[in-house]
Amino acid sequence: MNDLVVVGAGPYGLSIAAHAAAAGLGVRVLGRPMASWRDHMPEGMYLKSEPWSSNLSAPGGRHTLAAYCAGRGRAAEHGNPLPIDVFSSYGMWFARHAVPEVEEVTVTEVCPQGDGFLVRTAEGPPLPARTVALAVGVMPFVHLPEPLRELPPGHCSHSSGHRDLSRFAGREVAVIGAGQAALETAALLAENGARPCLVARRSRLNWNTVPQPLERPLLRALREPHSGLGTGWRSWAWSELPWAVRRLPAPTRERIAATALGPAGAWWLRDRFERSVPVLLGHRLHRAAAVGERTRLGLTTASGESVVLDVAHVVAATGFTPHLGRLELLDARLRAVLDTVGDGGTPELSAGFESSWPGLFFAGLLTAPSFGPSMRFVHGAGFTAGRLVAGVRKRLGGRGGPTGSTGTVRPDRAGAGHPKTSLR
């Protein structure tokens, strides 16, 4: 019986596994390492966050992005964006040095069994586990605006569906959205020979400013402190106090998760974008139809005027919507009985990231309505990994490792603060 099975091998899953292994837990990691970064981001993209706030987490602060870059003669400097490919390679390096061997399998189901769980994969026999941590990343939660959902294949795609944008060379492409993914995808399309147009319902685009130096006069640093999520006291609070966010009322947490650190483009992208991409701001998408091999979009301006846009393809850079209903690998009956945050569809979690079903832990995007917006970023992996592994050890009776306690808690004996729950 495995102490912990981690489902997912992105920044959160790898960080959790590193802390679990260091704590002596018998841990197995399932998934394709850094899959979202390696497979679902176009070539030529850059890391938006600062290198010092983009570390995966290992005990003692080891295996940092800066250490990886230094070993390859590359500087990871404040104010100097790194290519996504460098970050992806760093994650693979971290997996080799800080984590037990990652098993590159596809998890098809996680369901309760006896005192623990059974994790089924497409490639081999099921794995029994005392506890499970779901660190599935963002791909299960891809969001498409409703008007685009009925378009035939080939007419529309999500921005996460592309690695190579050169196939759009010479074609008109509408990019829907106003965040970094939309702005950078549109710029890369133009640089790959396409004719993009950005469509956004916002009346203006927001751009981050050039980051302030790390070393500043004390008064200036106090007025606008640096944090892993940006400069300023509000960003500092979301970055450094996820535990405090969790103590807020559920509606407040939901609002913070949905609105804090809204869409904005990186400062280093602005010139590239503005010189190559036309924009339609204040335009709301209300209709989409396939007309032969073309796609016709019906837009409405803020004044109510109708606009028709005819393009070869639509790329929706419209983000991700976390909801348990989309997590199909988790047993449907188990999903149905989990406590959720307010009226939303995300799990209510303990301070140790444990759900209302004992032994079932969550990490990443699904935890943002519990711990705040830092859970949407790599920076949140450090807070998550340490707290979650402490929660796992508590669930296992405080003892880890393959020779540790085999005592477990039945699903109808929830821990402190959790209601009793049963599928019987």
How large a percentage of the chain has pLDDT more than 90? 87
**Distance between CA 355 and CA 358 in Å, rounded?**
7
Q: Check whether 421 has a pLDDT greater than 50.
A: no
Question: Do residues 374 and 385 touch, judged by C-beta distance below 8 A?
Answer: no
Tens digits of residue pLDDT in 336-359: 999 999 878 999 999 999 999 999
**Distance between CA 280 and CA 175 in Å, rounded?**
10
Domain ranges of the chain: 2-141+320-395, 146-207+264-316
Q: What pLDDT, on the 0 to 100 scale, is given for residue 399?
A: 55
The architecture that CATH gives domain 146-207+264-316 is 3-Layer(bba) Sandwich (3.50)
Exposure string for 257-274, b = 16+ CB within 10 A, e = fewer: beebbebbbbeebbebbe
Tens digits of residue pLDDT in 21-44: 999 999 999 999 999 999 999 999
Exposure string for 5-34, b = 16+ CB within 10 A, e = fewer: bbbbbbbbbbbbbbbbbbbebbbbbbbbbb
> Has domain 2-141+320-395 been given CATH number 3.90.1150.10?
no
Question: Do residues 100 and 27 touch, judged by C-beta distance below 8 A?
Answer: yes
Q: What pLDDT, on the 0 to 100 scale, is given for residue 423?
A: 59
Pairing, β 102-103 against β 27-30: parallel
Q: Is the pTM of this model over 0.95?
A: no
Tens digits of residue pLDDT in 164-215: 999 999 999 999 999 999 999 999 999 999 999 999 999 999 999 999 888 8
Of 281, 319, 301, nearest to 179 by C-alpha is: 319
**Distance between CA 293 and CA 275 in Å, rounded?**
29
Please check whether the two domains, 2-141+320-395 and 146-207+264-316, share a CATH topology.
yes
Q: Please give the single-letter amino acid code of residue 242.
A: P
Average pLDDT over all residues of the chain: 92
Tens digits of residue pLDDT in 104-163: 999 999 999 999 999 999 998 999 999 999 999 999 999 999 999 999 989 999 999 999
Question: Residue written as tokens 């890391």?
Answer: 47
Of 36, 19, 217, nearest to 133 by C-alpha is: 19
Q: Which strands, in side-by-side order, build the sheet including 156-158?
A: 156-158, 313-316, 172-176, 195-200, 279-281
Tens digits of residue pLDDT in 60-76: 999 999 999 999 999 99
Contacts with 301 (C-beta within 8 Å, 6 or more apart), sequence order: 282, 283, 284, 307
H-helix or E-strand spanning residue 14? helix 11-22
Pairing, β 172-176 against β 313-316: parallel
Q: What pLDDT, on the 0 to 100 scale, is given for residue 78?
A: 93
